[in-house]
Structure 1
Amino acid sequence: MSETPVMEWTVKDTEVWLRKEGFDDTVIQILCHQNQLNGKCLLVLNEHDFATEPLNKLTLKDRKCLYISCKSLQRDNQNVLLDLGLLEMPSVGLYAPQPHFSKNECSEYSESERVSPPVSEDGRIHRLPAEKTKAFLSFCYVVVVTWITAFVMVIVHDRVPDMKKYPPLPDIFLDNVPHIPWAFDMCEVTGTFLFTIWLIVLLFHKHRFILMRRFFALSGTVFLLRCVTMLITSLSVPGAHLQCTPRNYTTQSSSVFGDLATKLSQAYVIWRGAGMSIQGVRTCGDYMFSGHTVALTMLNFFITEYTPRHIYYLHTLSWMMNMFGIFFILAAHEHYSIDVFVAFYISSRLFLYYHTLSNNQALMQRDSTRTKVWFPLFSYFESSVDGIVPNEYETPSEIVCNLLGFFKSKLNILKDLHICLTAKSSEPSTSNCVVDSVRDNKIKQS
């Protein structure tokens, strides 16, 4: 019987399976002899069946044990249920909450089964909407956050403690590792290399827009948190080699708007250079926590997450560059060890928490209101994703064809609009023509 598919089990096979699961003759008499239960019936048993005859005639122990056994059997045969379309039917699926019961008459089984069913054995889903609008909004979000970060960096630079009055704090690593002048530049070169790899992954990944919005959302959130931490507490300069003095913003007019304009211009210089020293940006006071460590860690985690597992040498290289980049930051004495540790911990934990929730939407479905309050970006960006994003890639020819199709569709829209606007017709009909042309092109794209 072990080689026979469950869908082909006879009543006798079901009886053998029940005995193997430890059920006595009473259960077998009711299920097999009286109701002719076969393999197909086992795969479609749901909460409602357990609350009605004949299953409600079983003892509580037998019902619970049978429920667990059926649940395990159905999970082992999800591909069969998917082919039959049963996972999309909440009235039949074992794992979906049943609307048959009212709030006060809920099934004893449905409360513990409020999980979203995966559509394949590995939890991946076959269709993922690109949702380019969400990717654009996430990009706008990270742009705004980087502007805020640049402006806060200008403020904290002017609040840096006096180096003569406040010497560097004791640090186990910095006190025992000599200063390496070129190390910070090497850290930024390492980050640039990781960023190049990430751009290549985005270019060829089939679900690039989902990856982009996740990267922008997570990076923006971490850097926004960094604005708070480096603003509320000013640490002393970690290295005596750093020349950190507050900038003088006094002007002839000495107006508030004049100082603000000067600070905004300084913030633009930082924003334009991405806060990198190899771009000529030098700031002080932005120590808790390390922005360079955040960038390195985020790039490393996204590269390893969205590249195939068998490319182990790429994952090893990414982790090595992440660790060496952190070492270079400390060797350059540009940050305290606690700055780097906190940055790595926050970035990695936020990445893992975000992806754990997005890969297992059932963890948030039972308390969706609280999730929307505490994770508004996640609730919005991941509302249409219910599973693991597969690492599927496009060939260069497919990318070119997609680009040509995109530009062709846009060109057709422009041509249709031009025809509609130049046609000798009344204004209402022209408006309808424009709407129809846009709608037709959207239908063709879908």
Structure 2
Amino acid sequence: MAHVGTSSVLDWTKLDIYHWLCKIGFPEYGTLFEQNSIDGSALLFLTENDLRNPPLSIEKLGHIKKLYHEIHILQLDNIPLIAKLGYDPYCVINNIPNECRREIGNYFCPAEHVTPDIYPLGMDIDDRTENLSRSKKLKPEVWKTVISLVYLFVVTWITAFVMVIVHNRVPDMKKYPPLPDIFLDNVPHIPWAFAMCEFTGTLMLIIWIAVLIFHKHRFILLRRFFALSGTVFLLRCVTMLITSLSVPGTHLQCNPMVEELQLDNGSYHSVWVKARHAYFIWRGAGMSVQGVRTCGDYMFSGHTAALTILNFFITESHEHYSIDVFIAFYITSRLFLYYHTLANNQALMQRDSNRTRIWFPLFSFFESEVDGIVPNEFETVGSLAQNMIRWLRRHWRIWYRLSMRREITPIPEKSQNSESVNRQYFRDRNKKES
């Protein structure tokens, strides 16, 4: 038996349908659905008329409406499955008659069954399906974003430390000349290309920050950026450490760090010295414009992983082999594509959630509350300012209440004792006068 909610609806059996009915509060219709052989695929195409008319003939109007509402939600969550079966999801969800079907790869719906209210004219089926597939609940989940930031922070430190290790293992340039490379052998060396790549990367980072400032779902974007960046550079640590390639160009001066520091007593091998070198690389983000100079970290290119579209500048600077650039471009672009394909397709996530948790643990954790495509919605400067003011007011009130609670202290016992003493004094005085 498949577990309801974790498997594809198409795999649901009659027993799964009964569990689903119990879950939504209609167990009394389990026998009725079983008698009519309603499984997952049949449930996905039930309409309100099917519930109302024979052979189901549900009599209570409230039950019909509530039950169809749950079926409608199920249809919205499984739009890709409906399309995969050859039906137009928009027609199925809006109860348009079954003349609406897919023919020769295109969607065809008769005009007499189309109304402007539910089927906008001139709207492409892909746009309609995309609108239906958009996420209906987008929680910021700031705490997950913080966890992804910590993940990236740890990975960058690991990367910096691995770069220190591979720098010390770089092959001797006198014994091991540059490897044959079809691009580097035919493209002249351009000295300013590598610096231009890093300056362009800085410009792209500024644009990315501007997008985050105005995007309504900035925390989801940040979470995905941190998770993908951390995963790519963690994979880069493995490829750098496994095999040390020779220096790709004779213009580069690369020697092991022990020779550069001239530490014959072997003190460089201490963890503390390597940690200081790793901090220097981490602080400069591995960029040559920040004074960072590393060797041996070739497979695969960290610059191309950050700037896949600018790999031409890296190749012409002769700072990496062509295979480094190609592998970095392929891994980064494919990982981004596969991640968002799974995130945008709720059916793929539900089909085998247990296997997804095993093979993609970070994805399952970070995308557990995202049920569709994240729309590109931006805030204006005015709305952004209003949100900032509202946020400051809310936190100011919290801080003010906490400060007021600290200032309000209970009456000390000394003052209470003095008051009782005064009362006793006046009593004694009145007795004497009387």
Distance 1:152 1:48, change over 3 A: farther
Shift of 1:250: 6.7
Unaligned runs of 5+ in 1: 1-45, 57-62, 75-83, 98-108, 298-321, 427-446
Q: Is the 8 A contact 1:230 1:285 kept in 2?
A: yes
Match of 2:297 in 1: 286
Distance 1:412 1:327, change over 3 A: same
Distance 1:155 1:172, change over 3 A: same
Match of 1:301 in 2: none
Match of 1:263 in 2: 274
Shift of 1:252: 8.7
Q: Is the 8 A contact 2:184 2:318 kept in 1?
A: yes
Shift of 1:247: 1.1
Amino acid at match of 1:273: G
Match of 1:52 in 2: 35
Asked if 1:414 corresponds to 2:399, the answer is yes
Shift of 1:158: 0.5
CA distance in 2, matches of 1:52, 1:180: 76
CA distance in 1, matches of 2:141, 2:403: 27
Asked if 1:205 corresponds to 2:186, the answer is no
Match of 1:89 in 2: 70
Shift of 1:163: 0.7
Distance 1:66 1:125, change over 3 A: closer
Matches within 5 A, 1:28-107: 51-53=34-36, 89=70, 93=74
Match of 1:377 in 2: 362
Matches within 5 A, 1:15-26: none
- Please state whether the residue corresponding to 1:333 is helix, strand or coil: coil
% identity of equivalent residues: 59
Shift of 1:120: 7.8
- Please state whether the residue corresponding to 1:393 is helix, strand or coil: coil
Larger radius of gyration: 2
Which of the numbers 269, 273, 276 marks the counterpart of 2:287? 276
Which of the numbers 384, 397, 418 marks the counterpart of 2:382? 397
Give the TM-score normalised by structure 1. Answer: 0.65
Give the TM-score normalised by structure 2. Answer: 0.67
Match of 1:341 in 2: 326
Match of 2:242 in 1: 232
Match of 1:327 in 2: 312
Deviates more, 1:371-380 or 1:217-226: 371-380
Deviates more, 1:262-271 or 1:389-398: 262-271
Matches within 5 A, 1:144-293: 144-248=154-258, 254=266, 259-293=270-304
CA distances 1:189-209 after superposition (whole Å, capped 9, x unpaired) = 121121111111111100000
Shift of 1:261: 1.5
Amino acid at match of 1:403: M
Match of 2:61 in 1: none
Which of the numbers 371, 374, 378 marks the counterpart of 1:386? 371
CA distance in 1, matches of 2:41, 2:166: 63
CA distances 1:104-128 after superposition (whole Å, capped 9, x unpaired) = xxxxx9xx9xx9x999843112431
RMSD: 3.5
Shift of 1:361: 2.2
Shift of 1:364: 2.2
